[in-house]
Chain A
Amino acid sequence: MKYFQTNESILFGLLVLLCIFLSFYNPQFYSIQNIHSILRSSSTVMIVAFGMTILLTSGEVDLSVGALMSFVTVIVMDVINITGSISLGLIAVFGFCLLIGLINGLVRTVLNVNSLIATLAMMLILQGSVYVYSMAAIYNTHLIPLFSFIGQGFFLNIPMPVVIMLFILPFFVVLLNYTRYGRYFSSIGSNPDAAKLSGINNNRYKVLGFVITSLLVGVSGVILASLMDTGQQGSAKGFELIVIAAVLLGGTSFMGGKGTIIGTILGILILKIIDNGIILMRIPQEFQLIVPGFILILAVYFDGIRKKNSG
Chain B
Amino acid sequence: MNNILKYLRKGELALFIIFLIVFIIFSFSSEYFFTLRNIMNVSGQLSIILIAAIGFSVLLIAGEVDISIGSLLAFVSLPLIEIMNITGSVPLGIILCLIFGIIIGLINGYLSVYLGVSSLIVTLGMLFILRGAVYLYTGQRAIPDELMSDFFFYIGNGKFMGTIPYAAIIGLVILLIFIFVMRNTSYGRKLYAVGGNQEVARLAGYNIKLLKLSAFVICSFLSSISAIILASRIGSANHVAGDLFEFQVVAAVVLGGVSLAGGIGSLTGAAIGVLILSVISNGLGLLNIDTQWQLVVNGVIIIIAVGFDELKRNR
Within 8 A of A (CB), among B243-300: 247, 250-251, 254, 260, 290-300
Residue among B260, B300, B307 with the most chain A CB within 10 A?
Answer: B307
Chain A residue numbers with a CB within 8 Å of B91 are none
- CB <8 Å contact, B302 and A290: no
Once A120-B250, A290-B136 are accepted as A-B contacts, the answer to whether A128 and B293 lie under 8 Å apart by CB is yes
A127 at interface by CB-CB < 8 Å: yes
- CB <8 Å contact, A120 and B115: no
- CB <8 Å contact, A284 and B136: yes
Chain B residue numbers with a CB within 8 Å of A129 are 292, 295-296
Once A107-B307, A125-B295, A296-B128 are accepted as A-B contacts, the answer to whether A254 and B118 lie under 8 Å apart by CB is yes
A200 at interface by CB-CB < 8 Å: no
- CB <8 Å contact, B125 and A296: yes
The secondary structure that dominates the A interface is helix
Within 8 A of A (CB), among B82-132: 111, 115-118, 120-122, 124-129, 131-132
Name the CB-closest residue of A to B112: A297
Number of interface residues of A (CB under 8 A): 41
Within 8 A of A (CB), among B298-315: 298-300, 302-303, 306-307, 310-311, 314
Chain B residue numbers with a CB within 8 Å of A114 are 254, 260, 306
A288 at interface by CB-CB < 8 Å: yes
Residue in A244, A294, A300 whose beta carbon sits within 8 Å of that of B129 in the complex: A294
- CB <8 Å contact, B294 and A128: yes
Give the interface residue-count category, chain B: 35 or more
Within 8 A of A (CB), among B114-172: 115-118, 120-122, 124-129, 131-133, 135-136
A128 to B244, CA, bound (A): 13
- CB <8 Å contact, B295 and A127: yes
Chain A 267-311: CB-based contact to B (< 8 A → 1; otherwise 0): 000000000000000001011111011101100110010001000
Once A111-B307, A120-B247, A132-B293 are accepted as A-B contacts, the answer to whether A304 and B117 lie under 8 Å apart by CB is yes
- CB <8 Å contact, A124 and B129: no
Expressed in whole angstroms, the minimum distance between the Cβ of A296 and any Cβ of chain B is: 4
A132 to B299, CA, bound (A): 15
Residue in B295, B307, B310, B314 whose beta carbon sits within 8 Å of that of A124 in the complex: B295
A284 to B310, CA, bound (A): 47
- CB <8 Å contact, B122 and A297: yes
Chain A residue numbers with a CB within 8 Å of B251 are 117, 120-121, 124
A118 at interface by CB-CB < 8 Å: yes
A107 to B303, CA, bound (A): 8
Name the CB-closest residue of B to A290: B132
- CB <8 Å contact, B292 and A128: yes
A248 to B123, CA, bound (A): 13
Within 8 A of A (CB), among B206-257: 247, 250-251, 254
Residue in A111, A132, A288, A293 whose beta carbon sits within 8 Å of that of B296 in the complex: A132
- CB <8 Å contact, B121 and A121: no
A120 to B246, CA, bound (A): 11
- CB <8 Å contact, B124 and A245: yes
Chain B residue numbers with a CB within 8 Å of A304 are 115-117
- CB <8 Å contact, A254 and B121: yes
- CB <8 Å contact, A300 and B310: no
Name the CB-closest residue of A to B246: A120
A113 at interface by CB-CB < 8 Å: yes
Once A111-B303, A117-B254, A290-B136 are accepted as A-B contacts, the answer to whether A301 and B129 lie under 8 Å apart by CB is no
- CB <8 Å contact, B310 and A112: yes
A172 at interface by CB-CB < 8 Å: no
- CB <8 Å contact, B127 and A125: no
Name the CB-closest residue of A to B120: A254
- CB <8 Å contact, A296 and B124: yes
Chain A residue numbers with a CB within 8 Å of B116 are 301, 304, 308
Within 8 A of B (CB), among A246-261: 248, 254-255
A309 to B129, CA, bound (A): 29
A176 to B150, CA, bound (A): 62
- CB <8 Å contact, B310 and A293: no
Chain A 112-143: CB-based contact to B (< 8 A → 1; otherwise 0): 11101110111111011111100000000000
A294 to B314, CA, bound (A): 40
- CB <8 Å contact, B314 and A112: yes
Expressed in whole angstroms, the minimum distance between the Cβ of B175 and any Cβ of chain A is: 23
A107 to B304, CA, bound (A): 9
Chain A residue numbers with a CB within 8 Å of B296 are 124-125, 128-129, 132
A122 to B111, CA, bound (A): 31
- CB <8 Å contact, A241 and B127: yes
Once A128-B294, A248-B121, A288-B132 are accepted as A-B contacts, the answer to whether A113 and B299 lie under 8 Å apart by CB is no
Once A111-B310, A289-B129, A297-B117 are accepted as A-B contacts, the answer to whether A122 and B299 lie under 8 Å apart by CB is yes
Name the CB-closest residue of A to B239: A286
Expressed in whole angstroms, the minimum distance between the Cβ of A167 and any Cβ of chain B is: 31
Expressed in whole angstroms, the minimum distance between the Cβ of B117 and any Cβ of chain A is: 5
Name the CB-closest residue of A to B129: A293
Residue in B128, B299, B307, B311 whose beta carbon sits within 8 Å of that of A123 in the complex: B299
Query: What are 9 A-B interface contacts by the 8 Å CB criterion?
Result: A112-B311, A124-B251, A124-B295, A124-B298, A129-B292, A129-B295, A132-B293, A244-B124, A304-B116
